[in-house]
Amino acid sequence: MSSRPDAPAESGTPRESGAPVTPGESGTSVAPADSAVPGGTEVPAVHLDEVEHVYAGAGGPVAALGPISLTVPPGTFLVLVGASGCGKSTLLRLIAGFEKPTSGTVRTGGAEPVPGRGAGIVFQQPRLFPWKTVGGNVELALRYAGVPRAERARRVPELLERVGLHDVAERRIWQISGGQQQRVAIARALAGDDPLLLLDEPFAALDALTRERLQEDLRRVSARTGRTSVFVTHSVEEAVFLGSRVVVLTRRPGRVALDLEVDLPRTGVEPDELRALPEYAALRAEIGHAVRAAAA
């Protein structure tokens, strides 16, 4: 959390701021964590080893999560999906370093995660500075990321172009739609060039059409940047469309019920064409069944 007077309590960029794995018929089941890094030569973007998390409840300790072990190679778009209360957001906070696990280890880029470093974060609400322009919000994120003034002037339009907002840079936040505000939040999270992007149900409060458009935008940006992403959602449709890998969590305490590679093209296909593929429908059915079974 930033101590700067113009920073919000929580921000869109950090500087501002088990069940057995089930092999899938429509996708490829993921290897266990110990074998996910061939020869130990590649440092995982995220590594969880027997992670458990317990918090204090009114009636005593509540086991929220685990044990969970996962290894996420660089460049993966990992989607965590499951019923409410299964620990998805808790797991994301552990990866961000906002909380410490009760037991087990969490590593990002080979090191213990530190809040505000190494990861861009997008929350369900955009949490922007309403008194600043769209460009001013992105420029501030760049400044907090240590980008020199001259380079900030060049990168602001580049980032806004990346999220489809090149023509609203001078507007105030209250002059743009909720979907556009969330795009600004994504642009700010991309500003620091952090290797990891964490997204906690960023489209949940939006209408269906805006949500679908932003999913398409995020998928395109992800393919272009190759940045490792961890995305939390309740939506099976969203998980299949966005993820290169989908992990379904059981009800509390959340464990891995399904860990599935999504074998769908990331580029070279239009969104409507992708959604019409038989493989897409098969994955949606398989993951939907896993979510329902895990919540039972």
Q: CA-CA distance, 139 to 159, in Å (whole number)?
A: 10
Per-residue confidence (pLDDT) for residue 293, from 0 to 100: 93
| 160: nearest Cα among 221, 202, 209 | 221
Residue 164 inside a domain? The answer is no
Q: CA-CA distance, 237 to 275, in Å (whole number)?
A: 9
The average pLDDT across 217-238 equals: 90
Q: CA-CA distance, 227 to 64, in Å (whole number)?
A: 28
- Tokens matching residue 224: 């272009």
Query: Which positions ≥6 away from 146 have C-beta within 8 Å?
Result: 15
Q: What is the CATH number of the domain that holds 267?
A: 3.40.50.300
Residue 162 inside a domain? The answer is no
Per-residue confidence (pLDDT) for residue 24, from 0 to 100: 38
Residue 160 inside a domain? The answer is no
pLDDT tens digit sequence for 68-119: 999 999 999 999 999 888 889 999 999 999 999 999 999 999 999 988 788 8
Residue 5 inside a domain? The answer is no
Give residue 69's domain range.
28-129+195-295
Residue 264 inside a domain? The answer is yes
pLDDT band at 7 (very low <50, low <70, confident <90, very high): very low
Per the structure, the count of domains in the chain is: 1
